[in-house]
């Protein structure tokens, strides 16, 4: 249950989180089209694609509920046969703990994903030295990184808002522990 101004609300299921995110995504898309036609913003197809990739990955693959990955959460199922790779993440982070904070929570999932990719690349290069792996552009440009990051964080924040978690969630917990 989530509390909003003293009112106790049920916490949405994973499917409802996805519906909320996709409704907001559709509204943002409609708003961007309108703002573009009015000359208020100029968005390229590439920027829109990068934002969409970040948003959709954050909604369907990197949800805050991966801290429940030892159970059958949607985000874990969306990874298919790779879903069990998220079980250790769920064992490290308690549900609605650090993984459900506004900045550190999304960063924990990105860091965990980076570790998984690093281990996979290391294993491939060790056991199959001739493998030709795609390289990241050096440096990654802000015009790519910014829309992906905005899309990803927005998807995470919508999840937290639906759960009734305020931006100061982690700070309030830390203050309570010190008292």
**Average pLDDT in the chain:** 90
pLDDT in tens, 1-20: 555 555 656 778 889 999 99
What local confidence, expressed as pLDDT, does residue 72 receive? 84
Which tokens hold the place of 109?
Answer: 């999932």
Count of structural domains within the chain: 1
The whole-angstrom separation of Cα 91 and Cα 100 is 14
Helix (H, G, I), strand (E, B) or coil at 139: coil
Q: Return the SS3 of 95.
A: coil
Residues 31-40 pLDDT 10s: 999 999 999 9
Domain of 67 in residue numbering reads as 2-178
Measure Cα distances from 147 to 29, 42, 88, 136 in Å.
14, 13, 29, 17
């Amino acid at each position: 249950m989530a509390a909003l101004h003293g009112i106790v609300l049920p916490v949405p299921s994973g499917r409802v989180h996805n519906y909320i995110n996709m409704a907001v995504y559709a509204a943002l898309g409609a708003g961007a089209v309108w703002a573009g036609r009015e000359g208020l913003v100029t968005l390229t197809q590439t920027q829109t694609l990068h934002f969409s990739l970040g948003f959709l990955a954050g909604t369907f693959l990197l949800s805050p509920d991966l801290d429940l990955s030892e159970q059958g959460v949607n985000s874990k199922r969306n990874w298919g046969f790779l879903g069990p790779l998220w079980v250790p993440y769920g064992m490290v982070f308690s549900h609605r703990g650090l993984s459900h904070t506004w900045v550190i929570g999304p960063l924990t999932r990105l860091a965990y994903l980076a570790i998984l990719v690093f281990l996979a690349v290391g294993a491939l290069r060790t056991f199959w030295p001739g493998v030709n792996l795609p390289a990241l552009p050096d440096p990654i440009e802000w015009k790519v990184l910014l829309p992906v990051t905005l899309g990803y964080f927005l998807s995470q924040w919508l999840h937290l808002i639906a759960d009734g978690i305020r931006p100061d969630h982690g700070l309030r917990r830390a203050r309570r522990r010190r008292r």
